[in-house]
Structure 1
Amino acid sequence: MSKQVDPAKSVSRTLKKRTGTTSDTIYAHIFDAILEHRLAPGTKLSEEALGEIFGVSRTIIRRELSQLAHEGVVSIRPNRGAMVASPTVEEARQILYARRLVERAITELAVQHATEKQLDALREMVVEEQKCFAQGDRGAGIRLSGEFHLKLAETANNTPFIGFQRSLVSQTSLIIAQYEKGTRSHCSFDEHNELLDAISARDTEKAVSLMMHHMDHIDAKLDFDEEGASDDLHVVFSHLGLGKKNTTVKE
Structure 2
Amino acid sequence: MTARRVASALRAAATASPVSGAGAQRHERIYQAISAAIIEHRLQPGARLREDALADVFGVSRTGIRKVLQRLAMDQLITLTPGKGASVTRPSAEEAREVFEARRLVECGAMLPLAQTLDAAGLTRLRALAAQEQQALEAGEQSAAIQCSAQFHGTLAALAGNQTLATFVVQLCSRSSLILAVYGNAGNLGCDCTDHQQLLELLEKGDGKAAAAFMAKHLEDIEASLSIGDEPQAVPDLQDVFAGYRR
**Alignment TM class, shorter chain as reference:** 0.7 to 0.9
Aligned match of 2:79: 75
Q: Which position in structure 2 is the counterpart of 1:152? A: 156
Q: Give aligned-pair identity as a percent.
A: 37
Write the distance in 1 (CA, Å) between the matches of 2:65 and 2:116.
Answer: 40
Higher relative contact order (CA 8 A, sep 6+): 1
Find the counterpart in structure 2 of residue 12 from structure 1: none
> What are structure 2's unaligned runs of at least 5 residues?
1-5, 7-24
Distance in 1 of aligned mates of 2:197 and 2:235: 34
- Matching residue within 177, 181, 193 for 2:181: 177
Shift of 1:209: 1.6
Match of 1:57 among 61, 64, 67: 61
Give the one of 218, 239, 242 matched to 1:237.
Answer: 242
RMSD (Å) for aligned C-alpha atoms = 2.4
Give 1:114's aligned residue: 118
**What residue number does 1:217 align with?**
221
1:202 is paired with a residue whose SS is coil
The worse-fitting range, judged by mean Cα deviation, of 221-230 and 28-37 is 221-230
Instruction: Answer yes or no: is 1:39 the counterpart of 2:43.
Output: yes
In structure 2, the residue matched to 1:189 is 193
Give the deviation of 1:194 after TM superposition. Answer: 1.3
User: TM-score, with normalisation over the residues of structure 2?
Assistant: 0.81
C-alpha offsets along residues 55-82 of structure 1, whole Å, 9 cap, x if unaligned?
2333432333222222221112233322
Number of aligned residues: 223
Give CA-to-partner distance per residue, 1:210-247, whole Å, 9 cap, x none. Answer: 11121022112211237477522222222x165xxx5x
- TM-score (normalizing by structure 1): 0.79
Q: 1:126 aligns with which of 130, 133, 149?
A: 130
Give ranges in structure 1 of 5+ residues lacking alignment: 2-20, 247-251
Q: Which has the higher helix share?
A: 2
Alpha-carbon separation, structure 1, partners of 2:127 and 2:235: 34
**Take 2:54 and 2:186, find their aligned partners in 1: how far apart are those partners?**
28
Looking at structure 1, the residues matched to 27 and 135 of structure 2 have their Cα atoms a distance apart, in angstroms, of 28
SS in 1 for 2:45: coil
Q: SS of 1:75's equivalent?
A: strand
Deviation at 1:196, TM superposition (A): 1.5
Q: Distance in 1 between matches of 2:181 and 2:136?
A: 15
Q: Is the 8 A contact 2:50 2:86 kept in 1?
A: yes
